[in-house]
Structure 1
């Protein structure tokens, strides 16, 4: 299974961590170069980490959530695994995104449309997991309503009492 960050982008990711002065701008460049679906998945997972970590009834804090999900989100290629170990940089990368979410992803924009170009038609359509089912469900609902209306006998209007 592929990683959210393509293999070719791990070198720039390591470089971004080594450059404290330009770290944020380098990370922004990396995020913007991710394929659209990967950006959406990354933001969704970061939002999920934050949501769970900030839920007061949950026992999992931000660090625990990042630890649990780091290996799912980032899978460095073998030749870079020594430089990006699961115990250090992968954790740090995800924690960096999660703790600086507002820097990389505007809070008022939907997770799934944040990095679409302004002219992308997907920006003007609500996201739904079941897009294919919606028209059929709507049609079935309309048919059900029409059937119910035609089956109910029309009651004559009662005249007002005098």
Structure 2
């Protein structure tokens, strides 16, 4: 029987295993939890269980510490990254909604233009452009005449 993979947020790794996976000692993981950098799941008996998301976050914490940030800086970066991800998701949702609205408006505009062209006998008036700011309508020059 093939084993199934745990879900990304499901706590399955003991603290010693999670620490070994990211090359840290268990005491560092406890410290990061006390500082609010991560919040592992707990068993009914209180044992910490780290998920693959937690392990990924621990890896990111290690990268930021390796880049010279202190724990306060790491917390700020992680918070900003989470905010950025939330805003990108919201923007993607809004872009999807906007595309749907634009697609509907475009189809409505095309139908309206097609209907208008049929009512006008298919003839459309266009404006001729002579140059910047110079437009002739119906063959007349609309530029101001010299005084």
Greater Rg over alpha carbons, structure: 2
User: Larger relative CO (CA 8 A, sep 6+): 1 or 2?
Assistant: 1
Instruction: Compare the two structures and name the one with the higher strand fraction.
Output: 2
